[in-house]
Amino acid sequence: MSYAWKEEREGDNARAVESFCQELTAAGVDVVRDSETLNLGECLSTFMWDVGASNFLCVFLSDSYLRSPNCMYELLVAWQRSRDNANEFRERVKIWVMPGLKDISDLENRAPYLAYWGTKESEKVR
C-alpha cells in the first residue's frame, strides 16, 4: 500500500486505506503496509524501496500524496521497476483517486504540483 499518512489520519478520507486493507485481508490477500510491517528502528528508505518494487502496488492518490517525497519515491521505484514501460507499470500499479483530488490529467489541475516540486528542486540548489 502506498498512501499519504496525513490523508489516512485526518480529513474526509481518514481510515479509507485501513478499511480497504481490512477487506483485502478478510478476502485472504496478504497486505504489506508500513503501520503493520515496519518496526521501530528499521530503515524507512529500504521499506519504501521494497513497497515501490513490489509485484503489485495499490496507490491511494491524494493532494497529500502528490506533495510527499516518500510517496513520490515509492512511485518512482515502481516506475523504474517497470523498466520505464507504461504498460508494465499499469499492470503492476493500481491507483485509487481519493475524493477531493482534482483530475490531474488536466494541465490546469496538474500545474500546482509541477510548481510545488519545481520550488522544492530550486530550494535544494540553493
What are the pLDDT digits (tens) for 75-113?
A: 998 999 898 899 999 999 999 999 999 999 999 999 999
pTM of the full structure: 0.82
Tell me the domains of the chain and their CATH numbers: 5-125 (3.40.50)
Estimate the crossing angle of helix 44-52 against helix 69-81, to 10 degrees: 40
Q: Are 31 and 25 in contact (CB under 8 A)?
A: yes
Count of C-beta atoms within a 10 Å radius of residue 4 = 21
What pLDDT score does 9 carry? 83
Mean pLDDT of 7-24: 86
Q: Evaluate if residue 43 carries a pLDDT over 80.
A: no
Give pairs for 65-73: CB < 8 Å, separation 24+: 65/2, 65/3, 65/4, 65/7, 65/98, 66/101, 66/104, 66/113, 66/116, 67/4, 67/113, 67/116, 68/4, 68/6, 69/120, 70/44, 71/2, 71/3, 71/4, 72/117, 73/45, 73/48, 73/49
What pLDDT score does 122 carry? 82
